Structure 1
Amino acid sequence: MTSPDWHAPAASGRLDATVTLPGSKSLTNRYLVLAALASDVSRLRRPLRSRDTELMAQALRQLGASIDDATSTASGSPDWIIHPATLRGGRPVDCGLAGTVMRFLPPVAALASGPVTFDGDEHARVRPMAAIIDALRDLGVTVEDEGRGTLPFVVEGTGSVRGGRVVIDASASSQFVSALLLAGSLFEEGVTVVHDGKPLPSLPHVEMTVETLRDAGAAVDDSEANTWRVEPGELLPLDVTVEPDLSNAAPFLAAALAAGGRVSVPDWPGHTTQAGDMIRDVLDRMGAEVSLDSRTLTVAGDGRPSGIDVDLHDAAELTPVVAAVAACADGPSIIRGVAHIRGHETDRISALSRELGGMGVEVTELDDGLRIDPAPLRPSTFHTYADHRMVMAGAVLALRAPGTVIEDPATVGKTLPRFVDLWQGMLEASEG
């Protein structure tokens, strides 16, 4: 069911706001998986509460974990207390449209006792899954998918996985590598994952997986290109605070450049494996003033972005927001290296081409990205295709196109349920 359309606000003047964001979806879901597999009770502080993370928590409960709220004095939302799972099958897993759930949990389900059925939203049934299904079969796991290579499918859990070396083509999603690594320490022989294919997309996400595994005491060797080894052994319980989601910060920071003004995001990490950190460099290259001071990132702009030629292969989730800023620029832009986003929540390349074109922008679809030739923006109904990043892109464009209407804004609940409130609060604070 879609939500009512959103008459997204235009900027009435220069922005001047500070926006505090909840935790990273990518980190929250990795920590949830590791905590469910750990040897004792874990605590996640300031986790993101969104559709994707709630789906992950519920899926892990289906597999036997206990995940409960706990009072937190340090954040506005409860912490999560995770009692590790005695993995069991027999209960279905609803993946929704969450790539992390549909890809991270089949290797976990293989360790369960009994069959586990995976299914999700209609759009989820076209997302590529063959790489993880084939990898599990190579490791001795039975998976029934009727030859589709997509949802729905059944993992026949036997309580153990042999493990060992497996070669996969993860060029469609780095999540396939992360999925095997997260569960690999509980395989009898551990796991060695070798990627054989086109360059791995979003490599920082694999680096994030390696770092979170090490946080849980796993022995991981990533010294060889395109090869990762996790030794067998127990995972230690976690007590971690989740960093803010830097990809969710992107539209707010981009607003300062697209509309003019200043936007700050506190608690920006000095060191991070989040791919969204790349937004600092991208906006700097597009003419913004970017500064990180006392863990607060500030972006200031004059409303006249410069065109850019940028490879977003390692941070492809930034593509919709960067494309929106490029549509407001003083010259053409090219976004490269993101062919794999055709298999994300929607075909993001085609979706951006259609929606930017509907606002008067000339867009050329490339084999691996987009060329964007700016033009004066005209308001339109901006369709979002059940894709949270499209909502964010539409909000940036609406700043420059009064009268823009964004379809189904609630789909942004996948990663940031309070996005609309935070966005309108940013503009209200600027007016004050």
Structure 2
Amino acid sequence: MEPAQAMIKTKLPKGFTSNSVNCGVRKYRPDLGIISSEVDMVVAGVFTKNEGRAAPVKYCQSILPSDRIRHIITNSGQANSATGNRGIEDNLELVQHTASTYGCLPEQVVISSTGVIGVPLEMKKLKRGINELHDRKSKSANSFALAIMTTDLIPKSVYKDIELSEGKVRLTGVCKGSGMIHPNMATMLGYVFTDITLTPESAQRYVRDIADKSFNMISVDGETSTNDSFFLAANGQSGLTLNDPEDERIFLEAFEEISIFMAKSIAADGEGATKLIEVQLKGHNDLERAREAARGITNSPLIKTAIHGEDPNWGRIYSRLGQFGVPEEMMNRLNLSIQGVPIVKSGQPIPLDYYKMKTRFTEDVIKIELDFCSGDIQTVAWGCDLSKKYIDINTEYN
């Protein structure tokens, strides 16, 4: 993925437009964004497993997957979670107002929210903002990326053009997330837009599978939000399909690539984070247990604080693996390396120059490699260190 594609102007696929406004919920930056398609699009999604689901999550789960969506609208600053019946009614009113403003049916509008939990939506401001959005259109996703931010330090968007057997298609990804990140489908919102032709069934299958390899493999603080959502939207405006298995492979490879790029961007932008943690695990014999073990490391406060303090205390990693059910016979085969330096071989520690190793922990990305030599399952998880700034940010959030 070329950095320029992620950091400068993030182009939308054919037939998509977007924009954002500041409607007054946030003080200084956009707080309401929309992405629209010129024609009906297929939209599928996966959502939080938190039992306290926000009103927009419940609404989206009731209408998706669908092949009739025209608009995706998102507000930031107020999550519309823990707002009771009023939240359900406010969500529906925003959907209906968007549909009326844009001349479509309510069931053609997808909505998501992020921000403070337990605060009712400021409906007058949001409805006024929807009216303003109608008169603004852009073919870049950048303004939408700004509008969905909360404690994020940077907007997160990326695009990739791919060549299929009969022509080019584009995938554009936008996401937000910095704290309350431990998705189980962080607050995490992710969107991928494409001009390929998909069915609702294939889109749902693709988004579920890719979520498990990307957004479900990140953790900042172990907190699963009430609003976590990941959407795939396809409007077919390229005129191309994925009937050719090789085309499908190329498309899914690109979809996975930009989803992992976004997931890593969220982990790297974790609240107060100074280092990205990447755990590469292989040689396991059970995929779900492998994923649990890898995420267990990225989510450990002891490991996260050790990495922040640039302390190569690998015993915390060993202990965490046992906590997450790695059996003794696999631990006895473990090969562990940190920053490319072997630490454990066949379950036995290798003499370590502590101070030399400590200098390797000054780097921005800390890579932990695990090989259990017990199977062909491999997975990757991402997280970040835990600093005092995380406490400062979250004590001041409201």
TM-score (norm 1): 0.25
Higher strand fraction (1 or 2): 2
TM-score (norm 2): 0.26
